[in-house]
Amino acid sequence: MRHRYSILFFPLHVFVDFLSLNAAFLGAYWIKFRTLDSVSEPPYASFWLLFNLIWLLEILLLKPYIFPRQLFKADHLIKKLLMLIAIHVAVISVYWVAVKGYYYSREHLLITYTLFVSLGAAFRIGGLIFLREYRARGYNNRRYVIVGYGKLAATIRSFYDTHPEMGFHFYGYFDDPKPDNTGLLTGDCTDLRAFIKEERIDCVYCCMPYIDNTRLKEIADHAEEADYQVKLLVDFRGFLLKGASVEYHDFLPVLNLSSQMLVDFRINIFKRGFDIAFSLGVLILGMPIYLIMALITKITSAGPVLYGQERIGRDGKPFTIYKFRSMYVDAEKSGPVLSAGTLDRRITPWGRFMRKTRLDEIPQFYNVLKGDMSVVGPRPERQFFIDQIVAVAPEYRSLLKVKPGITSIGQIKFGYAANLDEMVQRLRYDLLYPERRSFLFDMWIIAQTLRVMAQGRGK
């Protein structure tokens, strides 16, 4: 019989946990009372029995020891242990209050659970190390083949090749011969059944769309007879990174390609409310300072106090963005040119200070109130530069699905871009925002922006 020792993992796990639980209970009793003579007498005898009964019920109801090899990792095992112990503590606490068991020692309980967590974690980590070594030596392995050759097939093989501790051994690709798989196949699909029987294959990975439904059904129907698993691989990665989600219509899985995060009404309403409140607060409370800044801007160089420029907002809609003018008048009379940073000769001395402290962006809170921008979001660009960026990095289009912001991850981590390459580098940071957008993340970005302003590290 294949994998004859795998069936022992479940009872061994149960046994060791019960052993750890009872050892922890007795050990804590001895540490607290320096004796074990009365632990089997009332009131601790019933308490001891209750500890075991609760743990047994958790095992029967939650089935905590059933998980695939892919989740057989230290962090997952310890999280599951902590969850079980948390439930155990909760039930014991309810019992304690119900029977008014104040005669039980709180210190004993604390020591019991501390020991139990330590013993349980030590067993899991030790068992994991043992299994990794055991499987690395070729034991307790699973043999698998891949039907349908392509990038997805190569990805799953690479995954198992880089994780030998999982014990999956590759036995070949099966597909219809084609020019792109010449010399790479172990056989075609007609050879699969005989190969599975001869090599005692445990798992067959079927890669969509390289395999048709008829052949997939044949493999699945044969699986019960030949005692192997069938796993279907569908490459959703490109969609899931954009916020797609899987919905279930009865038993039918449906992939929703519309980003839930970007269309979530509650998030947008909450974010808009924060934008209005925050912008009003900044503009009203800082008004005296802004008047002084406007006066200095007017005195230090000829030209208007404010500078307006067309930028591209959400869904590609143009709007006029406002700043305190930091450059000399007619700095771009020869055409659109990116700033070369604080060494740019077109920037006034006072403008350099405003850029370092990001104070030149203050008028954009008016854009936020108008609804053109948000406090936090990817920085808006001009159409002239967007066309160049998209030619090099088409993923920039995803940033046009969210409202642009006064500050962003790219502004914090990178700053102003002096050329197209730097714009693309900053883009890598800003692309993180749509998929991670949340109130707490916005607060973190605002806090980091304030730090940059206080330190004068804007560039």
Interval 374-425: pLDDT, tens = 999 888 888 888 888 888 888 788 888 888 999 888 888 777 776 777 788 7
The SS3 of residue 167 is coil
Residue 179: what pLDDT? 84
Which residues, at least 6 apart from 147, have a Cβ–Cβ distance to it below 8 Å? 173, 174, 175, 189, 192, 204, 205, 206, 207, 210, 211, 215, 219
In order along its 459 residues, the chain shows pLDDT tens digits of 445 455 666 788 889 999 999 999 999 999 999 999 889 998 899 999 999 999 999 988 887 776 566 556 777 788 889 999 999 999 999 888 888 888 889 999 999 999 999 999 999 888 888 877 777 776 778 899 999 888 888 888 888 888 777 778 899 999 888 888 888 888 888 889 999 999 989 899 988 777 888 888 889 888 888 888 898 887 665 554 455 556 655 555 666 655 444 445 556 777 888 899 999 988 998 898 899 999 999 999 888 999 888 999 988 899 999 999 888 887 766 666 666 555 677 888 898 888 888 888 899 999 999 999 999 988 888 888 888 888 888 878 888 888 899 988 888 877 777 677 778 878 878 888 877 777 788 888 888 888 888 776 655
Cα angle for residues 381, 383, 389 (degrees, 5° grid):
75
In which residue ranges of the chain is CATH 3.40.50.720 found?
Answer: 142-235
For the segment 106-115, what is each residue's pLDDT rounded down to a tens digit? 999 999 999 9
Give me the count of residues in the chain.
459
Question: How far apart are the C-alpha atoms of 101 and 105, rounded to whole Å?
Answer: 9
Q: CA–CA distance from 238 to each of 154, 192, 391, 437 (Å)?
A: 17, 30, 19, 18
Gap between the Cα atoms of 309 and 332, Å rounded: 11
What pLDDT, on a 0 to 100 scale, did the predictor assign at position 217? 87
Confidence at residue 227, expressed as pLDDT on a 0 to 100 scale: 85
User: How high is the pLDDT of residue 31?
Assistant: 95
Angle at 362 between CA 314 and CA 297, to 5 degrees: 130
State the DSSP code for 38.
Answer: T
How far is 145 from 174, CA to CA, in rounded Å? 7
Q: Are strands 229-234 and 245-249 parallel, antiparallel or unpaired?
A: unpaired
According to the model, what pLDDT value does residue 1 have? 42
Q: Cβ distance 115 to 24 under 8 Å?
A: yes
Tokens of 288: 């005296």
Distance CA 170, CA 160 (A): 8
Supply the pLDDT for residue 442: 85
Domain spanning 142-235: which superfamily?
A: NAD(P)-binding Rossmann-like Domain (3.40.50.720)
The token duo for 36 is: 């074990």
Asked if 348 and 301 count as a contact pair (C-beta separation under 8 A), the reply is yes
Token match 């590290």: residue? Answer: 457
pTM above 0.75, yes or no: no
* pLDDT attached to residue 177: 86
- Per-residue confidence (pLDDT) for residue 241, from 0 to 100: 47
Question: If DSSP codes are grouped into helix, strand and coil, which group holds residue 372?
Answer: coil
Tokens standing for 174? Answer: 């099966």
Neighbours of 264 (CB within 10 A): 14
For residue 230, which phi and psi values (nearest 5 degrees)? -115, 125
Query: In 67-150, which residue ranges form alpha helices assigned H by DSSP?
Result: 74-99, 106-136
Q: How is residue 171 written in tokens? A: 């036995």
Whole-angstrom distance, CA of residue 358 vs CA of residue 454: 10
C-alpha span between 40 and 26 (Å, rounded): 10
